[in-house]
Amino acid sequence: MKEAGQPATGNSVKGALPILVTVFFFWGFIAAGNGVFIPFCKHYFHLDQFQSQLIDFAFYLAYYLGALALYAVASVARIDLIAKWGYKNSIVYGLLFSAIGAVVMILAVNANTFAGMLAGLFAVALGFSLQQTAANPFAALLGTPETGAHRITLGGGINSFGTAIGPIVVALALFGTTVAADEQIQSLGLDKVTILYACVGALFLLAASLFFFSRKLPAGKYEADAESSPKALRTLLFMTLCLAAVFIPVFNSYRNQSTDTAVIAELQTERFLWLLAGLVLTVGILLVALSRATRKPEEWGAMQYPQLVLGMLAIFAYVGVEVTIQSNLGELLGQEAFGGYSSSQVAPFISLYWGSLMIGRWAGSIKIFEPGATLRTVLVVFVPVAAFGVVLGVNAVAGNDISSFYGYIICVFIQLIAFYLTKDKPATTLMAFAMLGMAAMLLGIFTTGQVAIYSFLSGGLFCSIMWPCIFVLAIAGLGKYTSQGSAFLIMMILGGAIIPPIQGKLADIAAIGIHKSYWLPAAGFAYLAWFGFAVRRILQKQGIDYDASIDGGH
């Protein structure tokens, strides 16, 4: 790949970075805000837990389809649209598409249709997919290559800050407070959603204008040869068609509002089978592709590398686990054994969950500033504690009672010990954090009350550094297929669309319920631990020693 432009420097960087990091903030703010939006829609539209998870399904499915579309164009037409448009214009187009999604949301609210609101969220996230594909390399372009990782990490930190305050702001926008009483929720209309997305849409347009009219921003265009991989393309298109066949009837089933017990039981069984088929198809198709590509790598592109395909499944599991823990948290906290909180009272907990990812990412990014050994030891303790303080401060300013959160510092220190012992080695770090995540889920499943709540919330701490670990391990050794492999990994954000509805379905089954449904993220952590163990051996067989340090975050 040949860059057409030169890195920006000086005032250009100073003027560009504040604009660029706004899109990182939007990704985190909107995605985390869904955790409050889900229980709100569940109550307003009288949905069951599975139906409410269609919000995540629509949102994260857009990431998959957006990345797939860009890859398909590159593979068939041999045109890299991001390279042709440039990073700057690609982000502008993505912001405009997200603004259209906000308009669709407003129209759907006025029409009082849940399906229309899902379409609006899908369009917003489709714009995010294009923005995300362009924003990370654009950040690297805005300055010298040596400091590129610092700028990307800055974006990741802003993204995590957005996830921490998103639930609080959305709760305030919808309820006027984060501790509204049940009777306030009962009388709440959709006019607050209209105002919320009118403001969000206006911010999208403002950011697009800043990007478009800024003369300090380079175009970010470059020359790139799109690597052809027809067998991989056919595989992904076939998988997409299979998933469509599976999820169209599942999606349509949300319209069934029957109160007949027999009908509900039959519908639950049907949904579960369809959802399970979707999961099995995704995993099965990718494993079959790996088997075939390993035997005969021609025309498979990046999929001929086992670390990439297994990494795709790891991203699928990681995003699914990260999203499903918080998406079902509102329902869990509504149970008497977990506090009996109303849907308007869960925002502080969701904020702490996403804030946990911020805590881990801030701690994981210390080394990029290359502090001395003594200073680094101090920062490893100070930075996460300070980040925890930020999360508590945001909630305190919002008027939330944070006294029950103080004990969570124990979970933060457990994470700090894990950071110290794994010494920034990606495979070791991934394996250790996945095992801790699995242990946290199991502890939460077998306990109730504050201990269980802390356990489930700590899933955010252990998910925090998984994206960069998986990413660098999965693309290691891909050579000319690195860009293509990166696109395949972005597609697997699809896990956020498939896994949360499955947990929602498990929660709807009386014999399982919301508490035991957390066996699903426990299983996801188990696969991630296995991947951390297996990928190290796979890379060693290829002559790659990846006990190197990692940067960044998702």
Q: Could you give the CA distance from residue 48 to residue 291 in angstroms, rounded to a whole number?
A: 39
Average pLDDT, the chain: 81
Q: What is the CA radius of gyration of the chain?
A: 22
Residue 189: φ, ψ to 5°: -100, -175
Q: How far is CA 159 from CA 22, 62, 261, 271, 430, in A?
A: 9, 19, 44, 34, 21
Q: What was the pLDDT predicted at 98?
A: 92
Q: What was the pLDDT predicted at 462?
A: 94
**Least confident among 167-181, 331-345, 354-368:** 167-181
Confidence of residue 389 (pLDDT cuts 50, 70, 90): very high
Other Cβ atoms within 10 Å of 181 Cβ, number: 12
261 has a pLDDT exceeding 80? no
Closest listed residue to residue 53, CA positions, set 354, 503, 456: 503
The CA-based dihedral angle spanning residues 436, 154, 327, 103, taken in that order and rounded to the nearest 10 degrees: -170
**Least confident among 145-149, 201-205, 499-503:** 145-149
Q: What was the pLDDT predicted at 143?
A: 64
Tokens of 90: 């690609």
Q: What was the pLDDT predicted at 196?
A: 82
SS3 3: strand
Tens of pLDDT, residues 151-187: 665 666 677 778 777 777 777 777 665 555 445 554 5
Q: How far is CA 57 from CA 53, 102, 372, 414, 496, in A?
A: 6, 17, 45, 32, 7
Residue 7, sorted as left (phi over 0), alpha (psi -120 to 50) or beta, turns out to be: beta
Q: What was the pLDDT predicted at 292?
A: 95
551 has a pLDDT exceeding 50? no
**Least confident among 9-23, 220-234, 391-405:** 9-23
**Residue linked to tokens 């969950």:** 353
pTM of the model: 0.82
SS (H, E, C) 297-365: CCCCHHHHCHHHHHHHHHHHHHHHHHHHHHHCHHHHHCCHHHCCCCHHHCHHHHHHHHHHHHHHHHHHC
Confidence of residue 553 (pLDDT cuts 50, 70, 90): very low
> How large is the average pLDDT for residues 10-23?
63
Q: What was the pLDDT predicted at 524?
A: 96
Distance of alpha carbon 461 from the chain centroid? 14
Q: Cα–Cα–Cα angle for 484, 485, 487, nearest 5°?
A: 65
Q: Give me the helices (H) in 398-494, please.
A: 409-422, 426-445, 449-457, 459-463, 466-475, 482-491
> How large is the average pLDDT for residues 123-148?
73
The DSSP bridge partners found for residue 2 are 223
Q: Are 145 and 354 in contact (CB under 8 A)?
A: no
Using a 10 angstrom Cβ sphere, with 0-12 exposed, 13-18 middle and 19 or more buried, the burial of residue 515 is: buried
Q: Could you give the CA distance from residue 42 to residue 40 in angstroms, rounded to a whole number?
A: 5
Q: Are 439 and 456 in contact (CB under 8 A)?
A: no
Tens of pLDDT, residues 31-76: 767 767 777 788 778 777 777 878 888 888 898 899 898 888 888 8
Q: What was the pLDDT predicted at 361?
A: 81
Q: Are 431 and 533 in contact (CB under 8 A)?
A: yes
Contacts of 469 (CB under 8 A, 6+ apart): 426, 427, 429, 430, 433, 532, 550
Distance of alpha carbon 19 from the chain centroid? 22
Tokens of 170: 């959305």
Q: How far is CA 273 from CA 74, 250, 270, 484, 506, in A?
A: 35, 10, 5, 33, 11
Q: Could you give the CA distance from residue 253 to residue 276 in angstroms, rounded to a whole number?
A: 15
Percentage of the chain modeled with pLDDT above 90:
30
104 has a pLDDT exceeding 90? yes
Percentage of the chain modeled with pLDDT above 70:
81
Instruction: For residue 375, give the H/E element and its range.
Output: helix 373-397
Using a 10 angstrom Cβ sphere, with 0-12 exposed, 13-18 middle and 19 or more buried, the burial of residue 298 is: exposed
**Least confident among 91-100, 140-149, 358-367, 368-377:** 140-149
**Residue linked to tokens 């300055």:** 143
Tokens of 269: 């069984």
Q: Could you give the CA distance from residue 253 to residue 405 in angstroms, rounded to a whole number?
A: 39
Q: Could you give the CA distance from residue 59 to residue 61 in angstroms, rounded to a whole number?
A: 6
Tens of pLDDT, residues 265-319: 677 677 778 888 889 999 999 999 999 999 999 989 889 999 999 999 999 999 9
Q: Could you give the CA distance from residue 231 to residue 228 in angstroms, rounded to a whole number?
A: 9
343 has a pLDDT exceeding 80? no
SS3 222: strand
Closest listed residue to residue 318, CA positions, set 240, 433, 451: 433
> Residues of 23-56 as b/e, b for ≥16 C-beta within 10 angstroms?
bbbbbbbbbbbbbbbbbbbbbbbebbbbbbbbbb
Q: Are 147 and 551 in contact (CB under 8 A)?
A: no
Confidence of residue 129 (pLDDT cuts 50, 70, 90): confident
Tens of pLDDT, residues 201-220: 888 898 888 878 876 666 66
Tokens of 156: 């990741």
Q: What was the pLDDT predicted at 550?
A: 46
> How large is the average pLDDT for residues 362-386?
79
Other Cβ atoms within 10 Å of 268 Cβ, number: 18
